[in-house]
């Protein structure tokens, strides 16, 4: 599901979800058929009224992470420009000792996730591109160092403080 107040963007997204077509059998873009089933649509319809509240809460949590995490071993995400709006679907940090950090956090009952541990160019489905390890070193470095922290509506201030404290004490 995508929400936007940009008419041009909405038209393009609709086309992409309808085989790249605005008019039947006239495909201007390379799109696909990605419609939700009724159950998923019903869930989204029930959740949509809470979206702004949840986004604001994730922004509040992200702001605490950004201002209170001070460990030089960690690379935090860059703040967005004042005119942008970030929903912080995930809060991904980077650490050269990512696996050790993840284990340390798990030992302290803090769940984390490694989003996209294999860069796209090294996925089997893109083997035809003939891009080998070393072809895109920045993507590879990110995939080897990225770790997503807890980020969800409903985190208590104590839980957020606990995560921050454990991150600041990691070495």
The answer on pLDDT for 29 being more than 80 is: no
Q: Which residue has the higher pLDDT, 26 or 158?
A: 158
Q: Looking at the predicted structure, is the pLDDT value of residue 16 above 90?
A: no
Mean pLDDT throughout 13-37? 77
Counting every residue, how long is the chain? Answer: 171
- The reported pLDDT for the residue numbered 135 is 95
- Where are the domain boundaries for CATH 3.90.1150.10 in the chain? 50-168
pLDDT higher for 99 or 36?
99
Q: Does the pTM exceed 0.75? A: yes
Q: What is the second-level CATH architecture of the domain 50-168? A: Alpha-Beta Complex (3.90)
């Amino acid at each position: 599901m995508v929400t936007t107040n940009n008419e041009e963007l909405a038209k393009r997204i609709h086309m992409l979800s309808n085989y790249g077509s605005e008019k039947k059998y006239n495909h201007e873009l390379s799109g696909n058929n990605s419609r939700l089933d009724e159950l998923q649509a019903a869930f989204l319809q029930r959740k949509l009224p809470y979206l702004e509240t949840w986004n604001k809460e994730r922004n509040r949590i992200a702001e605490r992470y950004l201002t209170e995490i001070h460990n030089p071993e960690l690379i935090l995400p860059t703040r967005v420009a004042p005119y942008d709006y970030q929903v912080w679907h995930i809060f991904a940090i980077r650490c050269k000792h990512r696996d050790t950090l993840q284990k340390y956090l798990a030992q302290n009952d803090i769940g984390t996730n490694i989003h996209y541990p294999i860069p796209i160019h090294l996925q089997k489905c893109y083997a035809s591109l003939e891009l080998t390890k070393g072809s895109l070193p920045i993507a590879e470095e990110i995939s080897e160092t990225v770790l997503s922290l807890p980020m969800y509506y409903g985190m208590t201030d104590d839980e957020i403080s606990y995560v921050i404290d454990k991150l600041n004490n990691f070495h």
